[in-house]
Amino acid sequence: MKRIIIASMATLALVTAASAAVNGKACVACHGAHWEKKAMGKSKIVKDMTHAEIAEALKGYKNGTYGGAMKGIMKGQVARYSDADLEAFAQTIGK
């Protein structure tokens, strides 16, 4: 029984670490503290996008189906997050 509990706790720790919330602080340098900037002068202004548009963009960057000039940079930024993490993060920004 003790082994089962220890194994379950280890699995839970791995799942929790793998699904860590998106670090929005990493976005500020390019997108601005209030999502008001065009990143590198090329992106859409995130604060003007809907939650659904943001989620679609983030997941699209991750799977390579979205983006123009910044596609390569953004893929690296979102690749480690699950679609659920990206969806949840999108709900915290935009309109």
More confident residue, 17 or 51: 51
pTM over 0.85: no
Q: Specify burial of residue 58 (Cβ count, 10 A radius: 0-12, 13-18, 19+).
A: buried
For the chain, the average pLDDT equals: 84
pLDDT of residue 1: 54
77, amino acid identity = Q
Residues 4-37: pLDDT tens digits? 544 444 444 444 344 458 989 999 999 999 999 9
Domain-by-domain residue ranges, the chain? 2-90
pLDDT of residue 88: 96
CATH class of the domain at 2-90: mainly alpha
